[in-house]
């Protein structure tokens, strides 16, 4: 439980509102609805499993962008819930095997309907409010879903802002934990790579989906254009980082996204070899180790364990 959330609950009680301590699904990442979203193949006539060769070191400099979020319910104003959230984003850059943080920002939010935020008047230093659209009557369950969605969006916007600050001073390769389609600038950047660990949205069905999910290790799928991208077009392929046999079809499987200009077989093979060299070590104490890159894990750990300001 976040210390600042406890303080905000006391503030609510002092104002005659209803504090609550049940967590509201503290999410490590954005929620996705499971679906088949048909993609368009741009390499070959049918999906294939293509060997990429052996892992190769990524040339310096290389930077990693990741974001984190934590959300918990802190109370109610009438029937309208109030959600506290901490979001963060950082870029860590590696030169000569040394990884250092070059951009970072953290924000604290209270999310709720405008009337609930007015009633709470939670004026704490560093805490900002994020108002939900209130076109319908309050519904605690629906409002919590909308609040978590608003936190997702705020985290995404923070990642875009932190990446833009990094880009203003450096033009090296930047690996993003997530989809490049979150930002038109990302999707057009020839030196950005998105690595997506989630497979709630799958690009094929039938026999093509089976080939996609049964990629051997150190193989990639044919390049495709993902369907129904919200903001910007990208090119993508699946890459198997570790063997899946005896575990799960998704074990060690990631989706790699690049700018359309980088969607060529030669670039896909080269980037895949570089990504194989960035895999997190087998000893990583994380249930997602099979889809993690070392630099992404280091950036996430920085965000989760970096010292916070007093009272935060």
With 0-12 CB in 10 A as exposed, 13-18 as middle and 19+ as buried, what is 159?
buried
User: Is the model's pLDDT at 27 over the cut of 60?
Assistant: no
What CA–CA distance (Å, rounded) separates 120 from 118? 5
What is the pLDDT at residue 134? 80
CA dihedral for 16, 17, 22, 24, sign (positive or negative): negative
Q: Which helix (H) or strand (E) holds 200?
A: none
pLDDT digits 0-9 by tens, 180-220: 998 999 999 999 999 999 999 999 999 999 999 999 999 99
Length of the chain: 312
Residue-averaged pLDDT of the chain: 90
What CA–CA distance (Å, rounded) separates 270 from 129? 44
What CA–CA distance (Å, rounded) separates 180 from 169? 20
Q: Are 94 and 306 in contact (CB under 8 A)?
A: no
What is the pLDDT at residue 152? 95
pLDDT digits 0-9 by tens, 148-179: 999 999 999 999 999 999 999 999 999 999 99
Q: Within 10 A of 121 (CB to CB), how many other CB atoms are there? A: 11
User: Is the model's pLDDT at 22 over the cut of 80?
Assistant: no
What is the pLDDT at residue 311? 47
What is the pLDDT at residue 26? 45
What is the pLDDT at residue 217? 97
Q: Pick the residue with more confidence: 21 or 244?
A: 244
Q: Are 196 and 253 in contact (CB under 8 A)?
A: no
Q: Are 238 and 255 in contact (CB under 8 A)?
A: yes
Q: What is the mean pLDDT of residues 62-71?
A: 96
Q: Are 85 and 69 in contact (CB under 8 A)?
A: yes
Q: What are phi and psi of 94, to 5 degrees?
A: -110, 125
């Amino acid at each position: 439980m976040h210390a600042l959330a406890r303080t905000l609950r006391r503030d609510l009680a002092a104002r005659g509102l209803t504090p609550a301590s049940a967590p509201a699904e503290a999410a490590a990442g954005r929620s996705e609805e499971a679906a088949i979203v048909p993609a368009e193949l741009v390499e070959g006539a049918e999906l294939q499993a293509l060997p990429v060769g052996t892992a190769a070191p990524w040339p310096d400099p290389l930077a990693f962008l990741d974001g984190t979020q934590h959300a918990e319910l802190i109370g109610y104003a009438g029937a309208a819930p109030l959600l506290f959230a901490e979001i963060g984003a950082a870029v860590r850059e590696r030169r000569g095997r040394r990884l250092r943080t070059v951009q970072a920002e953290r924000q604290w939010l209270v999310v709720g309907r405008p009337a609930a935020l007015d009633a709470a008047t939670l004026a704490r230093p560093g805490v900002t409010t994020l108002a939900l659209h209130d076109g319908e009557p309050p519904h605690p369950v629906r409002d919590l879903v909308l609040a978590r969605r608003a936190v997702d969006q705020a985290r995404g916007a923070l990642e875009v802002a932190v990446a833009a600050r990094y880009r203003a001073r450096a033009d090296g390769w930047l690996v993003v934990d997530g989809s490049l389609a979150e930002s038109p600038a990302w999707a057009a950047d020839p030196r950005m790579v998105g690595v997506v660990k989630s497979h709630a949205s799958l690009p094929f069905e039938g026999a093509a989906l089976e080939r996609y999910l049964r990629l051997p290790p150190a193989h990639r799928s044919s390049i495709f254009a993902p369907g129904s991208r919200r903001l910007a077009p990208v090119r993508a392929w699946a890459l198997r980082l570790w063997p899946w046999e005896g575990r799960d079809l998704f074990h060690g499987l990631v989706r790699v996204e690049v700018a359309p200009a980088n969607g060529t077989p030669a670039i896909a093979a080269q980037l895949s070899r570089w990504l194989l060299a960035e895999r997190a070590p087998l000893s990583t104490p994380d249930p997602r180790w099979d889809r993690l890159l070392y630099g992404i894990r280091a950036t996430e750990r920085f965000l989760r364990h970096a010292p916070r300001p007093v009272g935060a």
